[in-house]
């Protein structure tokens, strides 16, 4: 299959050799190294040094290097790519030394857990980095490479098996590949993090979350379900979010007394990972969770769309104590886009709740179905 060109490729190409470290963060297996490899294909191999921090020798070397040793390591290379940098304790200081002392060298960094990387980099690389998130393949990226027909033909498969590059390129082995990705590999960084010694608890939590996509979640109820306490649940959810497995939506409340104040929903960045957690790859015709799958798919596509287009929005859901609700809203510059997701086109006549429309500046409202979703992603 043809290699799917990522939208960030052009964005990052324009930032090369601007005197800053370029960081690409995202879940394992979403294609970070492949994107950098595509980016570097036009450069002479002799100009590029690649360091993979999943290799213990590389970690040990980078952990303890002073400036003169870094200069000797890099030599006359023009580009240094450091893969899975979160594996190196104190990587922030090493990267700062590189950025400060190797002025003509472009440093490219990938990482799959923002909590370990950001802890190291927050202060040391302030003003010295460009940072981007990479997600599983977006509908728009698929469209750019293969066109509209392919996008339409693969929709149901993407709702079930998701959009990881490996899955899209090897659809006949999708189930086996997904079970591998969604096993310990995806959570490798979480399990390696301090204090995470109960992978069985993590598995139980993921199953509980997978069963509740599109519904409000309570940490107390989740804790009872998995036999733990709410603080542990919150800590694990926070780590899963920072490893780009799940994300949270908060309830929007501002003007109305009846708006929910503290609700939250949790979604998966990829439908395939969610279904792998439940080990349920049944076709859509046999499923009773298609509404939740459709909602999860569209919201994750909007996150990709907004990030790749440089749109800074805040995302929420909205609900009142009178059970009025909107599945998904985005706020940009005090204006709102509101979306209802309906898999069944025949039910696509929903209206925006009058209470929301009269209280806020609504730029647009759309009912998202399989027939029109491409216009929004």
* Residue 365 scores a pLDDT above 60: yes
CATH architecture, range 139-376: Orthogonal Bundle (1.10)
Residue 320 is given by DSSP the state B
The pLDDT of residue 239 is: 87
Mean residue pLDDT across the chain = 91
Which long-range CB contacts under 8 A does 206-210 form with residues at least 24 apart?
A: 206/240, 206/245, 206/277, 207/277, 207/278, 209/237, 209/240, 209/246, 209/266, 209/268, 209/277, 210/268, 210/274, 210/275, 210/277, 210/278
- pLDDT for the residue numbered 306: 97
Report which secondary-structure segment, H or E, holds 205.
Answer: helix 199-210
CA distance 250 to 264: 4
**Token pair 């009773």 in the structure block, residue:** 288
Give pLDDT tens digits for 138-196: 999 999 999 999 999 999 999 999 999 999 999 999 999 999 988 766 676 677 665 66
pLDDT in tens, 342-353: 999 887 778 999
User: What's residue 124's pLDDT?
Assistant: 72
339 CB-side CA count, 13 A: 24
Domain 8-133: CATH architecture, name and number where available: 3-Layer(aba) Sandwich (3.40)
CB-count exposure of residue 37 (10 Å: 0-12, 13-18, 19+): middle
The strand ranges marked E within 192-343 are: 246-251, 264-268, 314-319, 325-332, 335-341
pLDDT for res 42: 86
- Whether pLDDT at 43 is above 60: yes
Domains of the chain: which residue ranges? 8-133, 139-376
Taken in order 191, 289, 214, 167, is the CA torsion positive or negative?
Answer: positive
How far, in Å, CA of 21 to CA of 77, rounded?
Answer: 15
pLDDT at position 82 is: 95
Whether the model pTM is above 0.75: yes
Q: Considering only CA atoms, which of 63, 119, 54 is closest in space to residue 89? A: 63
Angle at 82 between CA 81 and CA 83, to 5 degrees: 115
pLDDT score of 63 more than 80? yes
Contact 246, 268 (CB under 8 A): yes
For the stretch 302-331, pLDDT in tens is 999 999 999 999 999 999 888 889 999 999
């Amino acid at each position: 299959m043809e290699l799917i060109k990522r939208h960030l490729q052009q964005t990052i190409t324009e930032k090369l050799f601007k005197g800053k470290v370029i960081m690409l963060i995202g879940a394992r297996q979403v294609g970070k190294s492949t994107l950098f490899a595509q980016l570097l294909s036009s450069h002479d191999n002799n100009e590029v040094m690649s360091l993979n921090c999943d290799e213990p020798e590389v970690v040990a070397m980078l952990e303890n290097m002073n400036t003169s040793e870094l200069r000797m390591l890099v030599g006359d290379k023009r580009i240094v790519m450091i893969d899975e940098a979160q594996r190196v304790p104190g990587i922030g200081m090493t990267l700062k030394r590189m950025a400060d002392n190797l002025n003509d060298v472009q440093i490219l960094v990938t990482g799959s857990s923002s909590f370990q990387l950001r802890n190291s980099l927050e202060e040391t690389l302030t003003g010295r980095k460009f940072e981007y998130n990479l997600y599983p393949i977006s509908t728009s990226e698929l469209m750019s490479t293969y066109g509209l027909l392919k996008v339409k033909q693969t929709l149901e498969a993407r709702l079930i098996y998701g959009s990881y590059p490996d899955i899209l390129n090897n659809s006949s082995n999708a189930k086996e590949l997904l079970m591998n990705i969604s096993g310990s590999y995806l959570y490798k960084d979480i399990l390696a993090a301090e204090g995470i010694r109960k992978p069985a608890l993590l598995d139980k939590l993921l199953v509980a979350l997978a069963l509740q996509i599109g519904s409000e979640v309570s940490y107390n109820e989740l804790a009872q379900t998995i036999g733990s306490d709410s603080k542990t649940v919150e800590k694990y959810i926070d780590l899963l979010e920072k490893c780009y497995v799940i994300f949270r939506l908060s309830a929007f409340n501002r003007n109305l007394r009846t708006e929910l104040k503290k609700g939250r929903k949790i979604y998966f960045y990829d439908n395939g990972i969610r279904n792998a957690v439940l080990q349920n790859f049944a076709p859509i015709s046999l499923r009773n969770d298609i509404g939740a799958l459709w909602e999860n798919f569209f919201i994750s596509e909007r996150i990709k769309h907004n990030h790749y287009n440089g749109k800074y929005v805040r995302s929420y859901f909205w609900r009142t104590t009178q059970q009025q609700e909107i599945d998904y809203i985005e706020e940009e510059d005090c204006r709102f886009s509101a979306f209802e997701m309906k898999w069944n086109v025949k039910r696509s006549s929903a209206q925006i709740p009058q209470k929301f429309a009269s209280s806020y500046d609504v730029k647009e409202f759309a009912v998202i179905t399989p027939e029109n979703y491409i216009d929004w992603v």
